[in-house]
Amino acid sequence: MGKYNNSLLDATIHYNYIKYDPITPAALTVVQSGSGYVLTADTEYDGAAYAASYDAEGALINVVSKPFTGNAATVTPDTAGAAKIKFFVWTNNIQPVTYTKTMDL
């Protein structure tokens, strides 16, 4: 620290911390419906359902999301060149709501 900055050692740091209650992840059900996948989970949380496509080496190709409300959402991932898809649901505050489901293509 440079000169004349000793008062910083006694400073109080203020920030916008919001405490969230921990979420116990719900089981996720994924059912293919045409080119899309219907994700359902027994949870009271709204958020977003995600489908992440990966190639055979595990590199991320694409991620799509749709609003998750009323315990369900339908996502249509880009599967061109994909070897597997991972599905999951997070709250709007980026907390995991469901366990991850992986599907091989």
Instruction: Give the tens place of pLDDT for each residue, 61-103.
Output: 999 999 998 899 999 998 999 999 999 999 888 889 998 999 9
Q: Residue 27: pLDDT above 80?
A: yes
- Residue pointed to by tokens 């070897």: 83
The CATH number that applies at residue 54 is 2.60.40
Question: Would you state the pLDDT for residue 24?
Answer: 83
Q: Is residue 59 part of a domain?
A: yes
Q: Is residue 4 part of a domain?
A: no
Q: Is residue 64 part of a domain?
A: yes
Q: Is residue 32 part of a domain?
A: yes
Interval 23-51 mean pLDDT: 91
Q: Is residue 14 part of a domain?
A: no
Interval 22-27 mean pLDDT: 85
What is the percentage of the chain residues whose pLDDT exceeds 90?
Answer: 58
Q: Is residue 94 part of a domain?
A: yes
Q: Would you say 78 and 64 are in contact if contact means Cβ atoms under 8 Å apart?
A: yes
Q: Is residue 22 part of a domain?
A: no
Q: Would you say 75 and 33 are in contact if contact means Cβ atoms under 8 Å apart?
A: no
Q: Residue 21: pLDDT above 90?
A: no
Total domains present in the chain = 1
Q: Is residue 36 part of a domain?
A: yes
* Owning domain of residue 43: 28-104
